[in-house]
Amino acid sequence: MSVVKSLSVGNGDMFYIKHNTDNFTIIDCSLSEDNKHRIVNELKSESKGKGVIRFISTHPDDDHICGLEYLHRKMNLINFYCVKNEATKPDETDDFEQYCDLRDDEKRAFYIFRGCTRKWMNQNDQERMHSGIRILWPDRGNEFFQGALESAKDGDSWNNISPIIQYSLDEGAEIIWMGDLEKEFMEDVEYSITLPAVDILFAPHHGRDSGTVADTWLDEMKPSVIVIGEAPSQHLNYYPGFNTITQNSAGDITFDCVAGKVHIYVSEWDYSVDFLDNEDMSNTYGNYIGTLQTKAGRAAAAARAGR
């Protein structure tokens, strides 16, 4: 069993994965004076006993690194994952300075790119099992990605240096994050990458129209659920034709991932959807809204039934 949680942090992104191995992963950081004590205490509690704690930064926009200095001070982020970049900002904050310090630290930083490998991100050894994380993008030689790096270096825009991150659980959930990739950029590179079928897709750029996923990628991934973030509702793409969970209304979203299934909980008690199975789970992580049968689980069940 593993637990994936999308924290409701307002106009920003922050996630964690409590792996079914000796790993704990935090993706992005969006802390405020109102939530930072509660969230960091939760991270410390949930990661207790894990041998590997990693932080993955998709990109250094303020709503993805807000509170990073505080988080590092409280948790000592010794494994800092990001794409290799030279991003600058005209007005540097303490959090951006902290990002740059971690990004440029030869002992802490690990630069991610398509197909990269590392213990214990996606490689086992005799000490521990891997985390199930793979990096599907960027292709560092791609001309459009190189242009995004230049734009970040010039301090113009940082969104399109975001990686595409896949988390896989055996016979269980396939989940993808895309940071804040923008629609036009995705259309430029859509034929430069083939994406897997997924159960859960976190819509890029908080679900904004400006981050609408290319149709080619949606056809490849066929996501069972798309999670739409907390951008203002007038800017959101609600992905008609797909099952969605809208974090503006759902609050914190917790995915309890087991073999073949994902039990889904939210923090708002009046939120519900009609596309999940009801397995009468207790409200372990909040308001249980239903269970998703994963694609891998359905395939394994069909294979067993055919024997």
Tell me, what's the pLDDT at 301? 77
pLDDT, averaged across the chain: 96
What is the rounded distance in angstroms from the CA atom of residue 306 to the CA atom of residue 231? 45
Report pLDDT digits (tens) over 105-154: 999 999 999 999 999 999 999 999 999 999 999 999 999 999 999 999 99
Query: Containing domain of residue 65, as a range?
Result: 2-306
Average pLDDT value for residue range 193-206: 97
Identify the CATH number of the domain in which residue 76 sits.
3.60.15.10
Judge whether residue 25 has pLDDT over 80. yes
Q: At what angle do helices 68-75 and 94-103 cross, to 10 degrees?
A: 60
Q: pLDDT digits over 32-91, tens only?
A: 999 999 999 999 999 999 999 999 999 999 999 999 999 999 999 999 999 999 999 999
Does residue 302 surpass a pLDDT of 90? no
What CA–CA distance (Å, rounded) separates 110 from 105? 9
Say if residues 278 and 294 touch (Cβ distance below 8 Å).
Answer: no
Strands 200-202 and 225-228: parallel
Q: What pLDDT score does 291 carry? A: 98
Give the bridge partners for 5, in sequence order. Answer: 16, 254
pLDDT at 78: 97
27-37, pLDDT tens digit by residue?
999 999 999 99
Residue 281: half-sphere exposure toward Cβ, Cα within 13 Å: 23
CA dihedral sign, ordered 30, 32, 35, 36:
positive
Beta pairing, strands 253-258 & 174-177: unpaired
Look-up of token digits 């292709």: 139
Provide the pLDDT confidence category of residue 299 given band limits of 50, 70 and 90.
confident
Q: How confident is the model at residue 271 (pLDDT cuts 50, 70, 90)?
A: very high
The number of folded domains in the chain is 1
Question: What is the model's pLDDT at position 307?
Answer: 60
| Coil/strand/helix, residue 216 | helix
User: Is 102:72 a contact under the CB 8 Å cutoff?
Assistant: yes
Q: What is the pLDDT of residue 71?
A: 98
Radius of gyration (C-alpha) of the chain in whole angstroms: 18
**Pairwise CA distance, residues 294 & 233, whole Å:** 29
User: How many angstroms from the chain centroid is the CA of residue 285?
Assistant: 19
Q: Is the pLDDT of residue 284 over 70?
A: yes
Express each pLDDT in 151-190 by its tens digit.
999 999 999 999 999 999 877 899 999 999 999 999 999 9
